[in-house]
Every structure is written in C-alpha cells, then in structure tokens.
Chains A and B, each alone.
Chain A
C-alpha cells in the first residue's frame, strides 16, 4: 500500500489529468502499433528529431552571445569560443550538429526512396518531409552566413546571386527579388541581420512541420521493410517499450559519432576559409558550400546552355538552366509517388529496381564529390564537366524515365504473406546508404587541392586524440612572435591575461602588458589617449587599422595570426613549411615585382619577405635558435593561440566517448532483453 505522500501525489496527478490528460496522451502514443519488423533504417526519424532539438537548444545559447552586425559578428563568435564558459563546446556542437542533422535526414530520405515510403497512402506525409528538407536547407544556408567568414559572405553572394538568373525570364525580376532578399545592393549588414532573424525563426517552423509530419504518420502508421501493409495485430507491437529502447540505442551510436567529430575533429567537415573574416574585395580561390549541399551545387553548375546544337541559338542560358535544374532536382521529389506507381512498395522485393537504386545512390555520391571540385579539373582521368553532366543526367533520368518504366514492366519477387510470416531481416539497401554517406563526408574533408608543394608533415605534440601543446615551445614561440612577427602582424584575439595559460605568472603578464601602449578614452577633455596595457587588454597590433597595415605593406594586409592555423588547410604544417619555404626563384618562373618566392604559398608569390633567419631571436632557456626551431616554436604558439581550448576539449572528449560507450552498451543489452520477450 503506498504511503500518504504518494497517495496525495496520485490524487494531484489525477486532478491535473482530468483537466489536461498529458499522461494518458503519452501512454496512448506509447501504445502506437508499429510493425514488428522495422529495421535500423527506421531509427533515422527519431534521430532527426533529436538532432533538431540539439540544434535549437545550442542555437538559443549561442544567440545569448552572438552579435548579428557585420563589424562584430566574427568577433562575437570568437568570443564565444574563447571567453564564454563551454562556449567552444556549444559552438562546435551546433556546427557539427548541422552536419549530423543532414546526415540522418539523408539516410531517412534514402530509406524512403528504397522502401517506397512515399507511396499511397503516405503521399502527404512525404510532402511534409520534403518541405521540412527545403526549410532545413534554407536554415542551414542562413546559419552558415552568421559567423561572417569568407565562405559565409561569398556563399551568400553566390546563392543570392542565383536569383538574377530570372532576369532572363522578365527583365529586372531576378535582380529585384535578389535586392528584396538582400535588403541592400550586395550582401551586407541588412542581409546579415535578417538572416539572423530568419535563422532563429525557421527551426520553430520546422518543429511545427515535424509535428504535422508525425501526425500524418500516425494516421496510417509506419511502413516496414517488406512494404506489406499491417493486416492484423499479430503484425505489430506497441512502440513503447520496443521501439523506444531501440531508438535510445540508436541515439547512443549517433552521439558516439557526434562526439568523435565535436571533440576530436570539429573542423573536419567545415572549411578553413571561414576562419578568415569576410572581405568583400577578395573572393576565395574555391567557393565550396558545406558538404550537404554539394550534390545540388554540382547540378547547378553542370547544365550547359539549352539551345539548338551546332548553332549559336540559345533558349535558356546555362545560368538559368542550372538554377531551374537545381530547384527542380528537389521539387521533383514531390511527384515521386506518381512517377513510381509499381504495385510493390518495397525495393527489397524489386530485383531490377534495386540495381537502379544502387546506381542512383552511387550517382548521388559522385555528384557530391563533383560539387566540391573545380569545373576545370580532371578526376579519374575524365574531365569534371563530363562527370558532372553525366551524373546530373542520370539523376533526372532515374526519376523521369526509370521509375515510370519499371512501374509498368518490372516483375517483382513474391511478397511474404504478412509481416508476421516474414522472417528474414534485410539490411542491404541501407548499408549502401550508410557507406555512401560516409564516403561523401569523407571526401568533403579533401575538397580543396593545391598546385603548389604539399606541406611537410611534422609530428606535433598536439596531434592525435590525446595531444597537448608543448608549453615551453609555445612560450619561445610567443617570443618569436613578439620580436619578429609582431612588427607587421597582429594577434588581436589574444588578451594578455590568456598568456598565463602558457605558464607565465600573473606578475610577468602584468609586466608584459605594461610594456605596450594602448589607446583608451575619451578622457574628460574628449581626447583619446595612450596608456600602458593591462592584463585585460587584448594584444595591440602594430597598425591602427587594416588600411594602415595594407598601406605600409605594399597594398597587402598582413593577416592577423590569432586564427591562422585554423584558417589554412593543414594549418600547423602549412605555416611551418611556409616559414621554412623561402627559396631562390627558379629561372623559368616569373613572379610580380615586390613579391617573394615561396615553395608552399599558393601561386608561389608571397608578399612577405623571409621573416626568420638563424640566430635571429635569442632564447632565454638556451634552446638552439635555428630557423627550423623558431618555426616550430612559433607554430606551437600559434596553435595554442588559435585553439586555447584544445586540451580541455580532448580531455572532455575522452570522458564523453567512454561515457557514451557505456551508454550505448547498456541500451544495447537492455534492448536485447526487452525484444527477447517477443523472440526477436
């Protein structure tokens, strides 16, 4: 018999329940009858829901510190990374989380394509899914603009520029729409501000659409790998506890992959160029969207002008045709239920369809790989343009030709009598999808290729999941920075107080800071004045502003070094190689006047003269002051400067991965025990 406290608690619960039946609603949802044979391919829906929640929660906490104004956006993100407690964690979870969200959603969509989930009576469910995907793409695009890095700015320029294609349809229409979206004549502050507002809004719209998506699902219930509809209660089991526990096991796997990226490779799926603040006057060499947009980006670029071959008559320019093809490639998903009318729902029982589907998946991956490549290049011996056009062609042929044809002519395998009779579990189609996803994500890490020499690979102490920065070396590196680099380069994201992390004492830091003059004011007379630095000040740069810096350096602004190792591909190795890479210009090479020859700098002509020579800096601890040693030391310093959180990030990573392994194993065992009750 329960004690009095719990009896009163029950009474209170009953009082509330009578007025708003949350408990019985939850119980009813738990009893939702689900086919008993769902495979792990059916985990991706709940995973997408979890990913959405993570994005919303981390997003709100980021919004507490982010400033949506062009002069402050980039700095506010760096402030979150460096000064806000756990800020780096929240930022990386949000950035990696976007990739994880798209990852599970792609797997969810491809499950739908293979098992015919879009077929009657689930067409509207499918439509809401496509709308959610379109909203996700808009949200992700706008979110990527917010840090206001080079890729943010130029990606926004390219994608909003797409709309000018419609000038060919009606003069001025495209540019008009573009200006309406931008709020300006080019990507600028009004654009950033409204993208922030909309990026904050859309996830909640997505949440509402997901709610409707689940309601639509519950009307007719889930499909299943056989595609055979539920015929009796023998075919189904209650969602709770069978699929709740299976979903939690899925969450464990999801979080493990998530944690591996967040803690050990947080920038692998991103682009180094976005660690350089946006510069409207300099376009990056290769503008690449995030990996999840690559297939559609490839389609955009692949389409030639539509006209009469062998004449110069063009009906639709390549630009407009590309825009139509790109939007069309997703809009076509809306009509798939009418393109594929084969009576057998699941691809598992359609032997011909299976091969075309596999080809479609591989084709989609190749499209993604092409999206990251330069149109001028050659891959696997074939010009990229040919590959891009062939894969775009097959993409549309699959939907417009293959599916309708197979609907009429394919003879399917014999279907099982019912789900209950079905014994074999099939994972085939979905292993392909998972591998496919892994391939695309893997290739995106190698998106940019350099024509100049590859950087020398050094074994840094900070490499690897347990790596740490060599603090002694970093202290020497700071000395090199201060005595050599700082005459032209700033490191303005570092505050003097941060140097204590390298091992300097509070007194040393105070003394060091007071050696610098910092502009402050205005004073009571209204004038700005100079005063000695304090630990809370950021390290002042050598020039008052970037224009002064450029003027003093032949028109090229020496970049700020706080983030340089993150802002370059293979950063630490690149900077090290560059510093050692000054050499005599080969006789047959021409470089512009005033530039210097460097073997590792893209294009070989660098504005900076050779900064380091043997014996240039005298080390207090007596270490040999060779150029090589100084280069190593300064890279250690710059690595710490770019990622001061690295050590605690990796330590937290080890703990998290161990925790998540325990979590996943526990839920796996629990899942097995619960499913044993029905012999599965």
Chain B
C-alpha cells in the first residue's frame, strides 16, 4: 500500500486525505458505466417478470366453441360461452331481418349494414358477443333487439347500438358454418 502515513507534522494534507477518504465526491466514469450496465440488467430481468403476466400459450391457443344450431327455432336464441364470454346465437325471423336491413341507411352511432354482420346466404343467423360495449354488462332480449339494463343502451335486431352510452355495436366474433346444423365460433 502506498498511502502516506498520517503523522502530526502534515495535518492539513492528512485532514484532506482523510476527508477524501470519507467523502470521495467525484463520480468516476467507470462507476457510471458499471451502474448503467446494472440498470440494463435490472430492466431486462424486470421485463421478463412483467411479460410472464401476459396470457399464457395455452390461453392464447385459439379456443373454439362448437354450437349445434339445429334446435334453435326462428325467433329463438341460444347463449353459449366462447373464451369465457357470452355469445348470443339468434335464429332471426324474416320480419326481424327486414327491419334490420331497413335501418341500414339511418343515422347511427356506429354505422354498419346488416349484411356486413351476417354470413352471405345465412342472414337468418346472427352471432353476437353478448357484452355491452359500454361497460360490459350482458344485454337482455327485447322485441326490438337488445337492451342493456345497466345504463340503458339500446341495440337493434342486428345488434347495432342505436341509443345510449355504448360507443360500438355488439361485436361479431369470428365464426363459420361447419355444417348446416353446426357453427364453430373462434
């Protein structure tokens, strides 16, 4: 060790050296570089922990629900669960379809044609995610369509928002007909 010994002859330098020992004020560049490296490491570790909270692979795997629609008469609807959400599968009557299509050109909060919300040639089948786009309650069936009891959103026979605080139409989930009596949602 090369430290000068602190003897009584050299009190000023000794005090200064002692002060330096007790309070080395200048920040060394290497310390900065090292601290930055530590910060990067901590950030990477933190990222992996937070990312682990994302939906896991098994949850993400496209879960699908098969629905047997043979038992649903015109004017009836069935509620099924898909990805944990309620889905309405409605067999519309010709009157309901006509009313829905007639409103296509009307002023709407979230404009959409009825045809865009059903499958071609199968417009009697309406498949909707039964979750109000306002704050998530499940709307009830009423003659004109659906009505959400929580804050009074009115949806028509195509599931489009017509009145009330909801900003968007009831969502149409991805689905397809795997036969005339079965649809696959998701």
Contact = CB atoms under 8 A, between A and B. Distances in A.
Interface string B38-81: 10110000001101111011110111101010010000000000
Interface in A500-538: 523-524, 531, 534-536
Given A79-B58, A85-B51, A531 B66 contact: yes
Given A90-B49, A670-B31, A423 B24 contact: no
A251 to B, nearest CB: 8
A57 interface: yes
Nearest to B49: A61
A86 B48 contact: yes
A245 interface: yes
Contact of A497 (B22, B54, B61): B61
A663 B53 contact: no
B30 interface: yes
A85 B51 CA distance: 6
Contacts of B57: 82-85, 497
A237 B21 contact: yes
A137 B116 CA distance: 64
A680 interface: yes
Contacts of B37: 659, 662-663, 666
A666 B33 contact: yes
Contacts, number: 103
Contacts of A673: 28, 30-31
Given A241-B24, A495-B61, A666-B37, A674 B31 contact: yes
Interface stretch (B1-9, B90-98, B100-108, B162-170): B1-9
B59 to A, nearest CB: 8
Contacts of A79: 56, 58
A85 B56 CA distance: 6
A670 to B, nearest CB: 4
B11 interface: no
Interface in B10-38: 18, 20-24, 28, 30-31, 33-34, 37-38
B56 to A, nearest CB: 4
Interface residues of A, number: 46
Nearest to A234: B6
Given A662-B37, A670-B34, A57 B49 contact: yes
B51 A86 contact: yes
Contacts of B21: 237-238, 677-678
A535 B61 CA distance: 8
Interface core residue of B24, B28, B52, B59 (most chain A CB under 10 Å)? B52
A128 interface: no
Contacts of B20: 677
Interface string A305-333: 00000000000000000000000000000
A663 B34 contact: yes
Most chain A Cβ neighbours within 10 Å, of B51, B56, B71: B56
Interface in A586-642: none
B28 A670 contact: yes
Contacts of A86: 48-49, 51-52
A601 B81 CA distance: 49
B52 A61 contact: yes
Contacts of B38: 248, 663, 667
Contacts of A84: 52, 56-57
A421 B25 CA distance: 26
A281 B9 CA distance: 83
14 contacts: A61-B52, A64-B53, A84-B52, A85-B52, A85-B54, A86-B49, A86-B51, A90-B48, A90-B49, A237-B22, A238-B22, A255-B41, A495-B61, A680-B1
Interface of A: 31, 57-58, 61, 64-65, 79, 82-87, 89-90, 233-234, 237-238, 241, 245, 248, 255, 423, 495, 497, 523-524, 531, 534-536, 659-660, 662-663, 666-667, 669-670, 673-674, 677-680
Given A90-B48, A495-B61, 12 more contacts: A61-B52, A83-B57, A85-B52, A86-B49, A238-B21, A238-B23, A248-B34, A536-B61, A536-B63, A663-B41, A674-B28, A677-B24
Interface of B: 1-3, 6, 18, 20-24, 28, 30-31, 33-34, 37-38, 40-41, 48-49, 51-54, 56-59, 61-64, 66, 68, 71
Which 10 pairs of residues, A with B, have the shortest CB-CB distance?
A679-B3, A536-B61, A666-B34, A670-B30, A83-B57, A83-B56, A86-B48, A83-B58, A84-B56, A670-B34
